[in-house]
Amino acid sequence: MSATLLDLKSMTAEAIARIFALADHLASEKPGDRDFFRFRRGLTAALVFFEASTRTRMSFETACHREGLHPIVLDSALGTSLEKGESAEDTLFNIAAMRPSVMVVRSNDSLNMEAMASVLKMPILNAGWGRKGHPTQALLDIYAIRKHHANLAKQRILLIGDIRHSRVAASHFELAPLLGYEIALCGPESFLPETPGRQVFKTLEEGLKWATVAMALRVQLERHPSQTNLQSYHQEWGLNPQSLSALEASALIMHPGPINWGVEMSPEVMKDRRSIILDQVSGGVFLRQALLREAIGGIG
């Protein structure tokens, strides 16, 4: 795998299997086993978040600490030269000049991450890029599923809701053909991709009967061109004890977070024993540790 990770198109099933195996190994480590300070003294990782984040930023930050990399974080425009009108590109050039070992970047669509990666000549990990993709989220989703269902090629993932605006969905569309799982969609017409290119269920019930994984996606109001009325959304597309009676007992319930409670799902869903929403978050740290380790080149 090349050290930079901007999308999943250029990944291979073998590279992903290696990342998952490394994440499993890291998950089995106890804090006392970690010998990283001997190897990584003084190395830094720049976490540059031009867009809001809780899980992804703190997950990468935790992963850095566990890997003995010092995270240097820019987590909002507030108090930075972005407030003075400095561009995202100039911000990245200047942070790169401080020679971190790796840069983790979240931005909107307007940044050309590919061009930046080729100019900056250092490993860049995409931590959410506008609507284009969120590769580490898709990888951690599959890492979480794999703990329950080892045969990924047999999985049928139902993406529910705002698929059109979801970079998580975009990354799953790239990852599914590599690992062999199926994806189908359901949600309001205006939330679906203009050309879905795959099975679309007309009702949530039909979709849930088909699925081995029900993955609800946040309604991304900030990316909608006009005001969206969410009043009737939950009734038709929301996960709750009633709608989830259509989902088989061995199936899984997921959400990348943050959750709009009462919209994508009702609070009871968190207690449903099929829900692995917080396992996505826990496993995500090991997965990102593995990606950081690969990015900076093995143990050293």
Asked if 134 interacts with ligand NCD (CB under 6 A), we say: yes
Other CB atoms within 10 Å distance of the CB of residue 136: 25
- The nearest distance, CB 257 to ligand NCD, in angstroms, is 5
* 167 touches ligand NCD by CB under 6 A: yes
Hey, what are 37's tokens? 């300070």
Q: What is the dihedral of CA 63, 16, 217, 159, to 10 degrees?
A: -160
Q: Which helix (H) or strand (E) holds 74?
A: strand 70-74
If the CB atoms of residues 4 and 137 are measured against ligand NCD, the closer one turns out to be 137
Please list every residue from 10 through 69 that binds ligand NCD, using CB under 6 A.
Answer: 55-56
Please identify which residue in 68, 188, 193, 257 interacts with ligand NCD, judged by CB under 6 A: 257
The residue among 56 and 243 lying less far from ligand NCD, judged by its C-beta, is 56
> Dmax over Cα atoms in the chain, in whole Å?
56
Radius of gyration of the chain (CA): 19
Task: Work out how close the CB of 137 gets to ligand NCD at its nearest, in angstroms, rounded to a whole number.
Answer: 5
Nearer to ligand NCD, 96 or 216 (CB): 216
Distance CA 294, CA 1 (A): 8
Around Cβ 9, how many Cβ atoms within 10 Å?
Answer: 13
Alpha helices in 121-203 (DSSP H): 135-146, 167-179
CB of 56 to ligand NCD, least distance (A): 4
Establish if 148 lies at the interface with ligand NCD (CB under 6 A): no
Would you say 233 and 187 are in contact if contact means Cβ atoms under 8 Å apart?
Answer: no
Q: State in angstroms the smallest separation of the CB of 276 from ligand NCD.
A: 14
Output the smallest distance, CB 206 to ligand NCD, in A.
24
Binding positions for ligand NCD, rule: CB under 6 A: 55-56, 128, 134, 137, 167-168, 218, 220, 256-257
